[in-house]
Chain A
Amino acid sequence: MPTLEIKDLHASINGQPILKGVSLIIPQGEVHAIMGPNGSGKSTLAKVIAGHEDYEVTSGDVLMDGESILEMEVDERSRKGLFLAFQYPMEVPGVSIANFLRAAIQSRLPEGKELEVTEYYQQLYREMDRLGMDRSFTSRSVNEGFSGGEKKRNEILQMAMLKPRYAILDETDSGLDIDALKIVANGVNALRGPDLGILLITHYQRLLDHIVPDNVHVMANGRILRSGNKDLALELEQKGYDWILESAA
């Protein structure tokens, strides 16, 4: 089965180790959640997998369908089918969502092939309807002046359009009220399927009420301390993280 495999990954920033041996296997078709206290290295893991240049991988590997992606540029990983929904999506002033996504999709087409514009807009509008986004969104500059909820919806819209094989959702629930959370969760659930592996990074259990994971991993201090099924998340909700940290120590 195709997988995104993280093998004993160590990474540091400015010489400071953050990831201290993370191992995880996310098969296509499954949703894995990583939970953990602040500063546990969850977001770092997301950025390292995506290829952020601030982080140095000191050992270990990340394999997509068996192929190491660590030597690939950020954009190459993306075109191979890796998507990161950002915790803090960046603004791109003056560039409309429609043009931005068009450029992103065009970058995936084989040389010489032009994007089919009519088809593109049909698909775009369909996905926007699903996420309850107004048509006027297409002409707004990417994330500029967006509310927290709009930014997160825009991330899921891009995910829907780019059709990744593996998606990492970094704190996609942060800054959302309950209605927005439901819309975003529905959007993600609609994309679940045998061809997509999802890694959900979250601080809170509440997202997992709406996007039910196949597996839950608890991360602290740069390591995965415990893995289990969705009940582990409920246990964490009740008992907090301390008991795991203590039992690990």
Chain B
Amino acid sequence: MSVKNNEINIDREIGNFHYNLTPAHDAGYGLTEETIHFICDVKNEPDWIRELRLRALEVFRSKPLPTHWATEDLRNIDFDQIRYYIAPGTDVKRSWDEVPTEVKETFERLGIPESERKFLAGVEAQFDSEAVYSNIKKAVADQGVIFMGSTEALKEHPEIFRKWFGKVIPTGDNKFSALNSAVFSGGSFIYVPPGVKVKHPLQAYFRINSENFGQFERTLIIADEGSEVMYMEGCTAPKFETSTLHSAVVELVAMPRAKIQYITVQNWSSNVFNLVTKRGLALEEAEIKWIDCNIGSRLTMKYPGVVMKGRKARGEVISIALAGDGQHQDTGAKMIHAADETTSNIVSKSISIGKGRATYRGQVTVPRHLKGCKNNTECDALLINTDSRTDTYPAIIVRGLGNAAQHEASVSQVNAEQIFYMMQRGLTEAQAMSLAVNGFVNDLVRQFPMEYSVELKRLIDLEMEGSVG
């Protein structure tokens, strides 16, 4: 065990480094119309995007922080002390050898090129505001699959981009989706043609390198009729003294009978405000599944959703949240049933350690006129210490006869007798805690692709090691 721990200790610091680079483009501190013009000019964007950004800025300014239901900690974000666009000023490369040395080293230390060789169908790597590397295996590209950064996609595939951009999550959805719409940069764009099933996952890695920086990537995935795709995203940032903002918008469109799986392993450092809007639109018999794992950040607010707009569409959210000391994981799911015989499933497990706080917020709506809709919601919370905290706010509105919802929730605590039992078998207290926590999330971890479940287990071990003392 001790050897594994040593390996873990190295890994713990894996994301905590940064390079001092002089970026080619830096929008400077604060957010004004000028910031937006700066971004549009650097990116050489069409007018409709410029106008959309400017309108979004107004919406952002007009909306209050949602502190009437969310944490007051949001007030600690100083929007004037954030830099909204920083880019190295190089094109997106297709080969790691062409990526600038420091940037390449960054991703090598995070193991990205290695994973790409081993098991991925394509990789996009974003460094601060822009993608620096993007590549898709030839066999996949030959099937007509498009996978590139959204900055590139806007130029190369404007017809698909414009058709779907902002259609699942409108600018005014919430204050942070408006902010993202105003200053978005980077993120992935994926189009999978009808009937194409992408066997291996496509992966994006989002890296924050600069201090006082906000990352606002925008991802759009369209799976055409009968196609299938799995997308995974990972993220890290160095531990700066000042806070960092990450506010992404992710829109998924699953055309009839398409399947999209979207997997996130969020491991931001503890200074990051992670405020993300994610939603998918599922048409007839389509399936959208969010597998969401939140381990890092200071505050995460994220409620992946599925709008089931076609008959027999299916939505699922599987989520694991680990709230360590000083962290608040405010996560959940939204299931909007908008057609007959649609089904949704939410399974959420959270672990609160030390003074960590995990909040579950769920919203399920089934209107009266629909028939044969079903929702299942399960949320379980595990508290490690006596001052750990968990809250659950499920809002399930199911109207109409012939629709059904089922909701189960539980809160449990790792108890001292259980730890004593495991320690009596030779495990240290930290190992015993890790085992109990891994056991608690085990059924969900199994749903992750193998490479990710191993990583996840390791991250949990790490967190637990620091939690006993």
> Interface segment, A5-13, A62-70, A104-112, A128-136?
A104-112
- B211 is an interface residue with CB less than 8 A from chain A: no
In the complex, which residues 387-441 of chain B have their Cβ closer than 8 Å to any Cβ of chain A? Answer: 416-418, 420-429, 431-432, 435-436, 438-441
The reply on B20 being an interface residue by CB < 8 A is: no
Scan residues 119-152 of chain B and give those whose CB is less than 8 A from a CB of chain A: none
Q: Which residues of chain A come closer than 8 Å to B423, judged between CB atoms? A: 73-75, 78
Contact between chains at B425 and A78 (CB < 8 Å): yes
Kindly identify, within residues 50 to 94 of chain A, every residue whose CB is under 8 Å from any CB belonging to chain B.
Answer: 50, 52-54, 73-75, 78-79, 83-84, 86, 89-94
Residues of chain B within 8 A (CB-CB) of A73 are 423, 428-429
A89 CA / B417 CA spacing, docked (Å): 9
- Out of A52, A53, A91, A104, name the residue touching B427 (CB < 8 Å): A104
- Contact between chains at B435 and A74 (CB < 8 Å): no
With a CB–CB cut-off of 8 A, which chain B residues contact A162? 425-426
A165–B423 Cα distance when bound, in Å, is 17
**Given A103-B1, A103-B431, A107-B1, is A95 in contact with B424 using a C-beta cutoff of 8 Å?**
no
What's the least CB distance linking A85 to chain B, in Å?
Answer: 10
Q: Does A172 contact B (CB under 8 A)?
A: no
Contact A107–B418 (Cβ < 8 Å): no
A94–B416 touching, CB < 8 Å: no
Give Cα A223 to B175, complex, Å. 70
Whether a CB of chain A sits under 8 angstroms from the CB of B2 is yes
A162–B427 Cα distance when bound, in Å, is 12
Q: What's the nearest-Cβ distance from chain A to residue B243, in Å?
A: 35
Q: How far, in Å, is A69 (CB) from chain B's closest CB?
A: 13
User: Are B431 and A107 neighbours in the complex by a CB distance under 8 Å?
Assistant: yes
How would you classify the secondary structure of chain A's contact residues: helix, strand, loop or mixed? mixed
Across-interface contacts of B447 in A (CB, < 8 A): none
Asked if A215 is an interface residue, CB under 8 A from chain B, the answer is: no
B424: contacting residue among A84, A101, A112, CB under 8 A: A84
Q: Shortest distance in angstroms between B407's beta carbon and chain A's nearest beta carbon?
A: 21
List residues of A (20-73) whose CB comes within 8 Å of B's CBs. 50, 52-54, 73
Nearest B-chain residue to A161, judged by Cβ: B425
Residues of A within 8 A of B426 (CB): 75, 78-79, 104-105, 107-108, 162
Is the pair A75, B439 in contact by a Cβ cutoff of 8 Å? no
A3 at the interface (CB under 8 A from B): no
Number of interface residues of B (CB under 8 A): 26
Of all chain B residues, which has the CB nearest A106? B1
A120 at interface, CB cutoff 8 A: no
Let me know if B424 and A93 touch, CB within 8 A: no
Q: Is A204 an interface residue (CB 8 A)?
A: no
A221 is an interface residue with CB less than 8 A from chain B: no
With both beta carbons as reference points, the residue of chain A lying nearest to B422 in the complex is identified as A92
- Specify which chain B residues have a CB less than 8 angstroms from the CB of A90 in the assembled complex: 417-418, 420-422
Q: How large is the interface on A (under 10, 10 to 19, 20 to 34, 35 or more residues)?
A: 20 to 34
Contact of A100 with B by CB under 8 A: yes
How many angstroms from the CA of A139 to the CA of B89 in the assembled complex? 53
Smallest distance from the beta carbon of B75 to chain A beta carbons, Å? Answer: 38
- Write the nearest CB–CB distance from A114 to chain B, whole angstroms: 8
Q: Shortest beta-carbon distance, A54 to chain B, in Å?
A: 8
> In whole angstroms, how far apart are the Cα atoms of A78 and B419 in the complex?
13
By a CB distance below 8 angstroms, the chain B residues around A107 are 1, 425-428, 431
B351 → A minimal CB distance (Å)? 12
A141 at the interface (CB under 8 A from B): yes
- The CA of A233 and the CA of B3, in the complex, are separated in Å by 49
Question: Which among A54, A78, A92 has the greatest number of chain B C-beta atoms within 10 A?
Answer: A92
Chain B residues, Cβ within 8 Å of A158: 425
Question: Does B443 sit within 8 A of A, measured CB to CB?
Answer: yes
Residue of A nearest to B445 (CB): A94
Whole-angstrom CA separation of A107 from B429 in the bound complex: 12
Interface centre among A50, A75, A86, A90 (most CB of B within 10 A): A75
- A83: B residues at CB distance < 8 A: 424
**CB atoms of B442 and A78 under 8 A apart:** no
**Contacting residues, chain B, for A84 (C-beta < 8 A):** 424
Point out the residues of chain A lying under 8 angstroms from B2, CB to CB. Answer: 111
Q: Which residue of A lies closest to B437 (CB)?
A: A94
Q: Which residue of A lies closest to B3 (CB)?
A: A112
* With A53-B416, A90-B417, A107-B1 as contacts: A75 and B438 at CB distance below 8 Å: no
In the complex, the answer to whether B416 meets A103 with C-beta atoms within 8 Å is no
Q: Give the residues in chain B near A93, CB-CB below 8 Å.
A: 439-440
- Kindly name the residue among A73, A95, A105 whose own CB sees the greatest number of chain B CB atoms within 10 A: A95
B439 adjacent to A95 (CB under 8 Å): yes
Q: A104 to B431, alpha carbons, bound, how many Å?
A: 10
Do B3 and A103 have beta carbons less than 8 Å apart?
no
By a CB distance below 8 angstroms, the chain A residues around B418 are: 90-92
Q: List chain B residues, Cβ under 8 A from A106.
A: 1
**Residues in chain A near residue B1, CB distance under 8 A:** 103, 106-107
Shortest CB–CB separation between residue A78 and chain B, in angstroms? 4
Cβ-defined partner of B443 (8 Å) among A78, A94, A114: A94
Would you give the shortest CB distance from B354 to chain A, in whole angstroms? 19
Q: A75 to B428, Cβ gap below 8 A? A: yes
A92 touches B435 (CB 8 A): yes
| A186-214 to B contact mask, C-beta < 8 Å, 1/0 | 00000000000000000000000000000
Q: How far is the CB of A208 from chain B (nearest CB, A)?
A: 24
Residue of B nearest to A104 (CB): B425
Residues of B with C-beta under 8 A to A100: 422, 425, 435
Contacts of A89 in B (CB 8 A): 421
- B427: chain A residues within 8 A (beta carbon): 75, 103-104, 107
Would you list 28 pairs from A and B whose C-beta atoms are within 8 A, ordered by A residue? A50-B420, A52-B420, A53-B416, A73-B428, A74-B420, A75-B424, A75-B428, A75-B429, A78-B423, A78-B425, A86-B421, A90-B417, A92-B422, A92-B435, A92-B436, A94-B443, A95-B435, A95-B436, A95-B439, A103-B1, A103-B427, A103-B431, A104-B426, A107-B428, A111-B2, A112-B3, A114-B3, A158-B425
Given contact pairs A75-B427, A107-B1, enumerate 11 new A-B contacts (beta carbons under 8 Å). Answer: A73-B428, A74-B420, A75-B426, A78-B423, A78-B425, A90-B420, A92-B436, A93-B439, A94-B440, A100-B422, A107-B431
User: Closest 7 interchain pairs by CB?
Assistant: A94-B439, A94-B442, A95-B439, A90-B421, A104-B425, A74-B423, A107-B426
Residues of A within 8 A of B (CB): 50, 52-54, 73-75, 78-79, 83-84, 86, 89-95, 99-101, 103-108, 111-112, 114, 141, 158, 162
